[in-house]
Amino acid sequence: MLIHGDEAARPDGAVTPPITQGTNWAAASGEEFLAMATEPLHPDFYNRAGNPNHEQASAVIAQLEGAERALLTATGMGAATTAALALVRAGDHVIGQRSMYAGVTSLLLNLLPRFGVECTEVDQTDVGAFEAALRPNTSLVLLESPSNPRLEVTDLAAVAELARRHGALTLADNTFATPINQRPLELGVDLVWHSATKYMGGHADLMAGVVAGPTEIVERIWNTTQVVGAVLAPFNAWLLLRGLRTLSLRVDRHNKNATALSEALEGHPAVSRVYYPGLASHPGHAVAARQMSGFGGVLAFELEAGHEAADAFISRLRYAKRAASLGNVGSLVVHPAAMWAHAMTPAQLESAGVSPGLVRFATGIEHPNDLVEDVIGALEGTG
């Protein structure tokens, strides 16, 4: 489906779909204009509503996630914020995980409360914490597994079942896992979203977001997109489709690389802890093994010698770039304690699980031997 899933939406005979850059399309009659203007996600009316390049890339993503429909947005945060604004109203209560992408934490704790929405954070490793947090007015539960930066695992099926019984919708960020490794909708989650900037695009050359799920809910979110306006440019949708063609090949290599690195680092005397859901030592391993078919390309580890050692280690790496983001063909590495020091106090960092020596390593698709040799060399100061 990565290669052929968009064929019904391709112009006849196009092996690779063209970029449709024009803003709008003409109607043959007043009736046709009205039909074009009112059909959700119409691909040939006006680019804020939809576009052929959106239709092609979203068709592939919907099939990958097992969703009826998918909607593309300008960035991952564009998808999350637009979905939340579409799905909740003043007086509602929203639950989010204590460990989530920082932008979503800000949506939960800063933005939604300004519109009269009550919000609660819970420890996502404890299904009972979600149950205890549910209130009669809970309308939405925000999930992310594995989560940033310590790869904590949420039991998606158990939380989805709880929320469903309670009448609340679940919206899961599947960016770290990708639909190659994990399909939340099959586990009972209502809606899935991605920073398609990451693995789906795959080459650190576009920003995009996507939300996928039942047609009726995706169309509600599309309605809000028409007000929020965080829509994807046609060229970025085209690049996204090009990235998607190789998603499965790349994710296989990312999975292999992160497994090889986490195994090489576990037990190394300079490393006190490795966080990777594929390791049997990871507290979420059993749940991850149940809900994932591969464990993803990101791992984190703690250097025993702390802050300066982590900084010096990153400086010694030959291949991985010290850069935000993940899911790129080349490895990317961050030192969360340094990256977030401007925004969080030491106490907040500690409660988010960010120790001074924590390193987050987002593997690329380099050869696993090269990556292991580089990382172990940099650790031992011989790289």
Ligand X SMILES: Cc1ncc(COP(=O)(O)O)c(C=O)c1O
Catalytic site residues?
48, 101, 173, 198
For the bound state, the minimum distance from the C-beta of residue 320 to ligand X, rounded and expressed in Å, comes to: 16
For ligand X, the closer of residues 69 and 360 by Cβ is 360
Q: How many helices (H) and strands (E) does the chain have?
A: 16, 12
For the bound state, the minimum distance from the C-beta of residue 77 to ligand X, rounded and expressed in Å, comes to: 4
Beta strands in the chain (DSSP E): 69-73, 93-97, 118-122, 138-144, 169-173, 191-195, 209-213, 271-275, 298-303, 321-322, 332-334, 358-362
For the bound state, the minimum distance from the C-beta of residue 178 to ligand X, rounded and expressed in Å, comes to: 11
In a 3-state reduction of DSSP, which class is residue 138? strand
H-type alpha helices, 49-154: 52-65, 76-87, 102-106, 112-114, 127-133
For the bound state, the minimum distance from the C-beta of residue 195 to ligand X, rounded and expressed in Å, comes to: 3
For ligand X, the closer of residues 171 and 337 by Cβ is 171
Please state, in angstroms and rounded to a whole number, the distance separating the CA atoms of residues 223 and 259.
42
Taking phi over 0 as left and psi of -120 to 50 as alpha, with beta for the rest, 355 belongs to beta
In a 3-state reduction of DSSP, which class is residue 223? helix
For ligand X, the closer of residues 40 and 234 by Cβ is 234
Rounded to 10 deg, the angle between the 76-87 and 215-228 helix axes is 110
Please state, in angstroms and rounded to a whole number, the distance separating the CA atoms of residues 323 and 275.
20
For the bound state, the minimum distance from the C-beta of residue 348 to ligand X, rounded and expressed in Å, comes to: 19
Q: What angle do CA 41, 43, 49 make, to 5 degrees?
A: 45
For ligand X, the closer of residues 175 and 291 by Cβ is 175
For ligand X, the closer of residues 257 and 374 by Cβ is 257
Given the structure tokens 């007086």, which residue do they identify?
91
For ligand X, the closer of residues 176 and 238 by Cβ is 176
Q: Does residue 174 contact residue 309 with C-beta atoms inside 8 Å?
A: no
For the bound state, the minimum distance from the C-beta of residue 26 to ligand X, rounded and expressed in Å, comes to: 33
For the bound state, the minimum distance from the C-beta of residue 314 to ligand X, rounded and expressed in Å, comes to: 18
For strand 321-322 and strand 332-334, is the pairing parallel, antiparallel, or unpaired?
Answer: parallel
For ligand X, the closer of residues 296 and 357 by Cβ is 296
Chain contacts with ligand X (rule: CB under 6 A)? 75-77, 101, 103, 148, 173, 175-176, 195, 197, 207, 209, 325
Q: 233-248 in b/e burial notation, b at 16+ Cβ within 10 A?
A: bbebbbbbbbbbebbe
Contacts of 126 (CB under 8 A, 6+ apart): none
Please state, in angstroms and rounded to a whole number, the distance separating the CA atoms of residues 312 and 322.
12
For the bound state, the minimum distance from the C-beta of residue 294 to ligand X, rounded and expressed in Å, comes to: 17
For ligand X, the closer of residues 207 and 292 by Cβ is 207
Q: What is the CA radius of gyration of the chain?
A: 21
Residue nearest to ligand X (CB): 76
User: In angstroms, what CA-CA distances link 338 with 100, 301, 328?
Assistant: 18, 15, 22
